[in-house]
Amino acid sequence: MGNKDRALKVNSMQIGVYNFILPSWWESIDIEVPLLNSEDTIEEYVKTMYGKETGTLENWQYALKTYAIAFEEIDRFPVYIGHCFRTGKDYNSAAKIYSDLYELADTQNYSMEWYQSYLGYCAGNTYELTGDIKNAKKYYSLSVRHINNSDDGISYYANRSNEKLLEFKYSENDKEISSIDIKQIKLLEETIENYYKIYGKKPSNDIIASRLGWSISLVKTVQLEKIELEHLTQEKNYSLENLMNNKENDTKKNELIKAYIEEALEKLPCLEREILKTRFALMGSPYLTIEKTADKFGISNEEVNDLTLRALRRLRNPNISMKLYKLYKGISDEI
């Protein structure tokens, strides 16, 4: 159907089961779309015409209109319209398309679960880009329902959604403690020392909390970080690489430990991951002292300790990965 015929219609078009509301710029895009009889053919045509399968930032509107017209002819589920809006950085429109299509996924018969997992992730991710965290979590959660699906294609996006939800959960549950740094540890030490000088005994957690204006939870957390920092500042090579290659373990167990550690590290921000690799001699990285690690990354010794603690705190979160932290603690207890 050409542009002139489209102008006779109202501001929407029916693409399969989806009623697509035409964007305000629709009539300004003048194209003629040949008859393309399959989704693969349409995708290849758009790629040839506009450089990429969803177009580029300069021509994404042409790509989107091509998909809309071609999909209308062959009655296809128009997910690519959402992708084109994303390419054009119109995230609000993309999020609406994905969420609308999610609600219609049950019309897609044998592909229903795949669309629910995939569109849930796409909608969640795009709502996150708009700053709408409530809807982001809603659609990530809908995708996660398929996390145990035996189809790898379905479970893949469910797992990605689950990782996103865990990131939210970590940041929300640990807002108070996620900003712990060396200064807070020093404040704790000074408070305990001053109290001891006056009363000849260590203060209770309630007293510390009252004097510093902290919650009991924060006091306990900083105390734990203080203990960990004391271990970290001892210059001994407490390499986890030794644990991964422990002769007392069988080869299979060593490989499982190594694989788990590497998988856990991949969940960390880049700098935190690289610092742990050098401080614990992981994944082939040579062991470096605090000073040498600081020199390598152009940061201070204090920042090395701070980032190491932050990384271990992330891994300690049971919803992210706790085993690496336990391995670390097991070795540290022997120092």
* Judgement on whether residues 226 and 139 belong to the same structural domain of the protein: no
pTM for the structure as a whole: 0.54
Worst-scoring range by mean pLDDT, 2-11, 113-122, 184-193, 281-290? 2-11
CA 158 to centroid of chain Cα atoms: 12
State the pLDDT at residue 216: 84
Does 316 have pLDDT greater than 70? no
What is the tens place of the pLDDT at every residue in 174-197?
444 444 566 788 888 889 989 888
Domain final residue pick, 216, 232, 248:
232
State the pLDDT at residue 321: 43
* Judgement on whether residues 61 and 120 belong to the same structural domain of the protein: yes
* Judgement on whether residues 261 and 327 belong to the same structural domain of the protein: yes
Helical pair 290-297 and 301-316, crossing angle rounded to 10 deg: 100
* Judgement on whether residues 11 and 117 belong to the same structural domain of the protein: yes
* Judgement on whether residues 78 and 183 belong to the same structural domain of the protein: no
Burial class of 5 by CB neighbour count within 10 A (0 to 12, 13 to 18, 19+): exposed
Rg (CA), the chain: 27
Average of per-residue pLDDT across 30-57? 92
Structure-block tokens of residue 120: 């849930």
State the pLDDT at residue 253: 52
Q: What is the CATH number of the domain that holds 207?
A: 1.10.10
State the pLDDT at residue 227: 67
Does 248 have pLDDT greater than 60? no
State the pLDDT at residue 175: 47
**CB 254 within 8 Å of CB 244:** yes
* Judgement on whether residues 263 and 152 belong to the same structural domain of the protein: no
Can you say whether residue 46 is alpha, beta or left, with left for phi > 0 and alpha for psi between -120 and 50 degrees? alpha
What does pLDDT average to over the chain? 80
What is the tens place of the pLDDT at every residue in 249-267?
556 555 655 666 777 777 7
**Residue numbers of the domain that contains 206:** 178-232
State the pLDDT at residue 320: 45
Domain count, the chain: 3
Question: What's the farthest any 2 CA atoms get from each other in the chain?
Answer: 90
* Judgement on whether residues 139 and 54 belong to the same structural domain of the protein: yes
Burial class of 248 by CB neighbour count within 10 A (0 to 12, 13 to 18, 19+): exposed
What is the tens place of the pLDDT at every residue in 112-125?
999 999 999 999 99
